[in-house]
Each structure stands twice: as C-alpha cells, then as structure tokens.
Structure 1
Amino acid sequence: MGNPSLPPGNAVAAAWWRRLPWRTIACLVPALAVGLWAAEHRSLLVSGGEDLLAADRFWLLGALAATGLGWVAIACARQGTVLEPLPTGRLLATQFAATAANQLTPAGIGAGAVNLRFLRGCGLPLGRTSAALALYSLAESVGRVTLLLVLVTAFPHALRLNGLLPDGDALLFIGAVLAGGLLLVTLFLLSARRVRRFIRVFLATALTDARSLHLRPSRALALWGGSLAFPALQALSLVAVTHALGITVSAPHVAIAYLAATCLAAGIPAPGGVGSVDAALAIALVAAGAPTAAATSAVLAYRIVTVWLPLLPAALTLGALVRRKVV
C-alpha cells in the first residue's frame, strides 16, 4: 500500500523518485562536467596539443612524472594535518580525484570539499576536519612563498619587470581596494556575535591540533615536506615543459616565474586558476626572458600536461570514490 496521505499519482511519482540511482548519477556528473568544459575550451586544447606533438618526448615524460609526484606530495601534506593515520591508497586517490573538482570550482573549493568529505568519512569530527583543511592551506602557502623568496634571493635578476607591472597610481588604487575589502570583512566579523564565537572555537581547535601535530616529528615532516615539495614539483614540471618546447630560459628563472605567478594569482577566485594563473604565468615567463609566443605555448602545454590530460581520469576516479562512499 502507498502512503494514504498522497494521491495515487503523487505516490507513484514519489516511489519512482526514490528508486532513481542517485549515487550512480552523481558518479557521472564529474565526467559530464569535464566533457562540457573540454568542449568550451576545445580551441585551446587543439592549439596546445599541436605544440606538444612537436615537443621533446623525454622532457614531456619528465613533466608528467613531476605532476604525478605532486599528488604524492599533497597526500603527504594532508596526512601531516591530522594525528590519525589515513588509509594511504584512498588518501592518494582522493588527491588525484580532487584535481577534477578543483578545476570546476573557484578558489580551490572543490578540492577542499572532496577532502572534507574524505576526512569526515575517516571518522574525524567537523571541527577538526575544518582545522586540517585550514592548516594545509596555510602550510602550502608558506611553502610556496618560502621557495619563491629563497630563489629570488639566489637569483635577484631573474625577472625583468620593466613595463610589465602597473604604474604607481594603479598599484595605489589596487592597494586601496584590497585595504577597503579587508576593512569591510573585519567590521563584519566584529559585528556578528555568532561568527565571532565560531571563529574562537575554530581557532582554539586549530591551534590545539597544530601544537599536537608538531610534537610528532613524522607528522611535522609530512606536513612541511609535502607543502614544500608540491610547488617545487609543479615548478619542475614547467621547467620540463619549457625544455620540451626548446625555450632557452634557465631552470631557476622558470621556477621563479611559476612561483611568482601562482602567488600573485592566488587571490583571484577563478575555477582552477584558469585565466588568472595563465595570464600571470605568461607575463612571468616573458619577464624571465622567454619570447611572448613561446611563453604562450609553454603555458598552454603546461596546462595540458598538469591539468587537462589528467582531468578525465581524475573525474572518473572522483565518480568511483563517490560511488564507494569514500567521499
């Protein structure tokens, strides 16, 4: 018998709705989103693919290897954010799957959501999973900036910025806008009692966990080693791509260009950094000494190797993890 409170037609519709394989449908969503994304960017894919066909295969394999090791570095850093041992295989698969989620959402929200669900599935409470995500973001940012400062100190003339940066008035305007935005956020936080209470509890949890993690040398090494290794491997991948295309810019200068571009573009909430990172990276490569056309080709090829080529396998992995209730 159906629900007597529902008319017969509504009861049939409700039963049909419940029988739909929602988890299977959810598994197909990432792959469908990737297909739509690829169709929208097909001209860029074709242009970059033509450059890769003429590139040196040895260096391209090196770029792929560095990209793959980057997921291992992320997995190590993620393990370093929690005291509990995480299942290694599922942790690594989750970081690979987060690649797809990250490219379809702005400001890394997709990767954060995938890792949040993964940690929750491992039995961690919401407060500690949020603290773990915040600690990873902080450590990765510190690692990236640290590498940039070390390389800039060692190679102070790597970037020729004459004519590439905005003039003084433009920089002053940008600074005023950022300061105004920061002031508005601060006033909002100070005026909202519930928000202040949430922030106090969150900071207390985050500081307690961070203190406990740094008392465990293995966790501290995983956190900071992975946070330094990931941007270094991404920079190494770009170095390999520039060598594959025959661009005559020294490896340290290319690495500085990558780190500077990603640091500058980090605050622009574009999905996967598409557009913001690409533009900043092209400008940085030109500042490092690459011709404009070669810099554009290198950015497209780098995107294909590190993002577009793994995108469909990552989306399928994400679907499989959703189906198995890992995330």
Structure 2
Amino acid sequence: MTDVQLPQGLPRRVPVRQVLCLLPLALVLLVAVRHRSVLEEGFGQLRGAEWPWLVAAVAATCLTWVAAAFTRQGAVVERLPARRLLATQFAAGAANHLLPSGLGAGAVNLRFMTVCGVPLARSSAALALYLLAESITRVGLLLALLITFPGALHLGPLVPSGAVGPLALTAGAGLCAAVGASLLLVRRLRTAVWSFLRTALGEARSVHTRPARALALWGGSLAFPALQAAGLAAVGRALGLPVPPAHIVVAYLAATVAVALVPVPGGIGSVEAALIVTLVAAGAPVALATAVVLGYRIITVWLPLLPGALTLGALLRLKVI
C-alpha cells in the first residue's frame, strides 16, 4: 500500500486509502456550506407539503439506484455481485454531485468493474454503452411524450420564435467539426479512438446476444429517467403545482437533456435553473415552480448525499472500489 509522508509532529505515515475514505465527507461539508441558503429554503418549502406524495418521491428516488444497477449489469457480459453493485450505484450518486457531472459516477463504476475482474478496455466500453443507452432512451422518451402531448411546453415567451432549430444545428455542426478536426490532425488520438470503438462494438454485440443482459440494459435505461421524472411529478403534487403530471415529466426530460453537457458538479445550479424554466413553460407560476424544484433537489440530491458519501468511503476502505 502506498503511504504519504506527513509533516513533523504528526504520525509518520497515513495510508492513502484512509485519506481517500475521508475525502467524500470533506467534499460534502464543503458543498453543503456553499449551498446552505438553498438547503434552508428547500427544507422550508417541504414543511407544508403533503407527506404521502413526498414519500412517493423518496420511493421513486430509491428505485433509480435499482434501475441504474440493472443498466450497469446489462452493459457487461460478466455477472457482477448484486449487493455490491447496488451499493456502488448509491455511492456513485454522491460522487456524481461532488465532481463535474458524470465524472464521479463514471470513475466509481469504472473502478468497481475493474476490481470485479473486467479488463479496463472493456470496462470503459461498458461505461460508454451505458451512457449511450441512457441518452437514447431519455431523448426517445422525451420525443415520444412531446408527440403525445404537443402542448406540454410553451417556449414562446422564453425562446425567440424560430431560434431553437438554428441554435441546435449550429451547436451540433460546431461539435462535429471540432471532433472531426481533432481526429484528422492528431494521429494518436485517431488510433486510440478506433481501437476503443472496436472494443465497444464487440462488447455491445456480446451483450445483445444475451436477452437478459439486453433487457437489463435497455429496461434500466428507460426506467431511470422515468423514475426521476416521476419523483419531480410527486413533489409537484405534494406542493399543489397546477400542472398535469405528464407535462411535469416532459418538463423534467427537456431540462435534463438541455443541461446534459454542462460540466458543473452534478448539475447543481444549472439543473435547477433549467427545471424552473421548463416548469414555467409547462404553465407553472414562477414562485411555485421554484419551490417544487428546491424540494425535489432536497430529496434527490441533499438527503442522500451524506449517506452516499459514507457508503463511498466504506467501499473504498473495503476495497470494493
């Protein structure tokens, strides 16, 4: 085990793993201090809510970790230990809110799979397959609901008429041009990308030859955003939000798709703003939409953050990750 040398006057050596076990708790404290006003206001909004709907929101949040565990298992051929996999998803949720969005959960799951004996290249391919499946199902669910409920969102007052299409096309073209130029100009990058794609395609083919794995992958990917959106709808009902639940689901999916590429810790700040905007577009008053979003983030982010960090530290200490 690698050790670190400490200054004189302190014990000579402290194992690095023990330091890492305490790091998540320190990060939780830092984030909580930085956002203490949000915590106070969020808990205040929940005091007058209808508690059965809050319980439903908590239950939906807990089920998201189960859905994530199914999706992670579906992305690899090897059978992963179920209990440790579920605990890892709970810990990964905390890591995701402490590091730039997506990196925390990705790092935790990558380490877990390699500890379970999955080679690093295939673990990375499984991680990419998970992200691809989750993105496809989230966008697909949003499009299906927009077709079913075409009047769910009214973006006219929020976005200039005809601006959404050109903005999306411009952003997409710019991203494709940057990626293409990088692949053409940097030979090592091009070689690494093609090698990774071959591994990822081979892993995807192997997974889809097993119906149980494919069902876990795509079923979990669909259930994950659906449960997240159901949690927001439950909080909306608890606080008396005058918006149909289906429209709240559309608002949630639209907001999370919009901020998916924003590199901030767990989407803290950007997710709240996007959710408020889309709920207002769905017909909610601004003040009530803000209260619903704050209450929802208390349930889905802040309440699980400390136990998630403790679980993360325990998994590190037990060398599960």
Question: What TM-score, normalized to structure 2?
Answer: 0.94
Query: What does residue 134 of structure 2 align with?
Result: 140
**Paired residue secondary structure (1:140):** helix
d(CA) in 1 for partners of 2:107, 2:210: 27
CA shift digits 1:208-235 (9 cap, x unpaired): 1111111100000000000000000000
Q: Kindly indicate whether residue 53 of structure 2 is the aligned counterpart of residue 50 of structure 1.
A: no
Query: What does residue 77 of structure 1 align with?
Result: 71
Query: What does residue 239 of structure 1 align with?
Result: 233
Q: Kindly indicate whether residue 153 of structure 2 is the aligned counterpart of residue 162 of structure 1.
A: no
The correspondence for 2:87, drawn from 90, 93, 99, is 93
Query: What does residue 199 of structure 2 align with?
Result: 205
Cα distance, 1:173 vs structure 2: 5.9
d(CA) in 2 for partners of 1:199, 1:262: 27
Detail structure 1 runs of 4+ shifted over 6 Å in the superposition: 11-14
Which shows bigger deviation, 117-126 or 145-154? 145-154
d(CA) in 1 for partners of 2:105, 2:17: 19
Identity %: 58
Query: What does residue 317 of structure 2 align with?
Result: 323
Query: What does residue 151 of structure 1 align with?
Result: 145
d(CA) in 2 for partners of 1:293, 1:185: 41
1:212-227 alignment, distance < 5 Å: 212-227=206-221
Unaligned runs of 5+ in 1: 1-10
Query: What does residue 302 of structure 1 align with?
Result: 296
Which shows bigger deviation, 203-212 or 166-175? 166-175
d(CA) in 1 for partners of 2:136, 2:116: 27
Query: What does residue 4 of structure 1 align with?
Result: none
d(CA) in 2 for partners of 1:170, 1:209: 36
The correspondence for 1:254, drawn from 242, 248, 251, is 248
d(CA) in 2 for partners of 1:191, 1:17: 51
The correspondence for 2:106, drawn from 107, 112, 119, is 112
Unaligned runs of 5+ in 2: none
RMSD of aligned Cα (Å) = 1.9
Query: What does residue 64 of structure 1 align with?
Result: 58
Q: How many residues align?
A: 316
Amino acid at match of 2:109: N
d(CA) in 1 for partners of 2:167, 2:300: 34
d(CA) in 1 for partners of 2:216, 2:164: 41
Amino acid at match of 2:309: A
Greater Rg over alpha carbons, structure: 1
CA shift digits 1:36-58 (9 cap, x unpaired): 10011000100010011111110
Cα distance, 1:176 vs structure 2: 3.4
d(CA) in 1 for partners of 2:136, 2:181: 27
Which shows bigger deviation, 314-323 or 200-209? 200-209
d(CA) in 1 for partners of 2:76, 2:164: 43
Which shows bigger deviation, 124-133 or 189-198? 189-198
In structure 2, do the counterparts of structure 1 residues 243 and 46 end up closer, same or farther at CA, with 3 Å as the change threshold? Answer: same
Cα distance, 1:172 vs structure 2: 4.2
The correspondence for 1:127, drawn from 112, 121, 129, is 121
**Paired residue secondary structure (2:135):** helix
d(CA) in 2 for partners of 1:87, 1:35: 31
d(CA) in 2 for partners of 1:213, 1:205: 12
CA shift digits 1:48-74 (9 cap, x unpaired): 100111111100000000000000000
d(CA) in 1 for partners of 2:167, 2:219: 38
d(CA) in 2 for partners of 1:62, 1:231: 16
CA shift digits 1:171-202 (9 cap, x unpaired): 74674355334312211111111111111111
d(CA) in 1 for partners of 2:171, 2:234: 38
Cα distance, 1:276 vs structure 2: 1.7
Amino acid at match of 2:257: C
The correspondence for 1:180, drawn from 154, 164, 174, is 174
Which shows bigger deviation, 194-203 or 181-190? 181-190
d(CA) in 1 for partners of 2:129, 2:164: 33
Cα distance, 1:22 vs structure 2: 2.2
Query: What does residue 28 of structure 2 align with?
Result: 34
**Paired residue secondary structure (1:106):** coil
d(CA) in 2 for partners of 1:33, 1:322: 15
